[in-house]
Amino acid sequence: MTRKDVAIAEMKTNGEADKTILEIDNAVRESVAALDSGKVRDASGLVRDASGLVRDASGLVRDASGLVRDASGLVRDNGTAETYKNLAKKARDLSRGAAIFSWSIRKIAEKGKNPEDASGLVRDASGLVRDASGLVRDASGLVRDASGLVRGTHVEKKFPELVKRAEDMEKKTENLEENAQKAKTPEDASGLVRDASGLVRDASGLVRDASGLVRDASGLVR
């Protein structure tokens, strides 16, 4: 993988992230407009919570793209080039996975206009929670890949703590998905969506911490 290949992988990752973020931001604006209009009054709490989760997912996409950008300076041989290639691909997969959130929030906001379709609303919200869990697992995978890029640097010993945090978050996603299957009411779903939001924000923080260590290591390698 040449320096040109690294630049292309970084550019593709940034482009995928920008596209997803734009789609999500447009969908969130639409859901906020529906809330402001009073058209989803009976389900306003759930729609608001779901909008917050989708917004948090957009932040995670941005942070994942930032990690790929920061990690480009650590490509120094064939081994790290392959690791970087996998990292960039996973970040693009994360962006594509998050793109579905724009469709999900529109669907939830639309169903929120019909108070008689509570079961459908809960079902869609539970699906959003499961998608968020998958996003968190993708972020955990990024951190594990990033750990392979810092081997031999002065930050190597700091990464196992981040990997442990990633593993702990993955366990929480399992519990969240189990609870999502049990949701019966919009109130149940709102609580789960808020929990998912917290987990996605934790994943963003983890990715940002990994980026910080990668930037530190990159400065040493260069």
Q: What's the pLDDT at 199? A: 96
Q: What's the pLDDT at 2? A: 66
**Which pLDDT tens digits describe the chain residue by residue (222 residues)?**
666 777 788 888 888 888 888 888 888 888 888 777 776 666 778 888 999 999 999 999 999 999 999 998 888 888 888 889 899 999 999 999 888 888 888 888 888 777 676 788 889 999 999 999 999 999 999 999 999 899 888 899 999 999 999 999 999 999 999 998 888 888 899 999 999 999 999 999 999 999 999 999 887 444
Task: Report how far residue 66's alpha carbon sits from residue 178's, in angstroms, rounded to the nearest whole number.
Answer: 31
Residue 71, amino acid? A
Task: Report how far residue 178's alpha carbon sits from residue 41's, in angstroms, rounded to the nearest whole number.
Answer: 29
Q: Nearest to residue 135, comparing CAs of 176, 173, 109, 89?
A: 173
With beta carbons less than 8 A apart as the criterion, state whether 173 and 195 touch: no
Cα three-residue angle 160-166-168, rounded to 5 degrees: 105
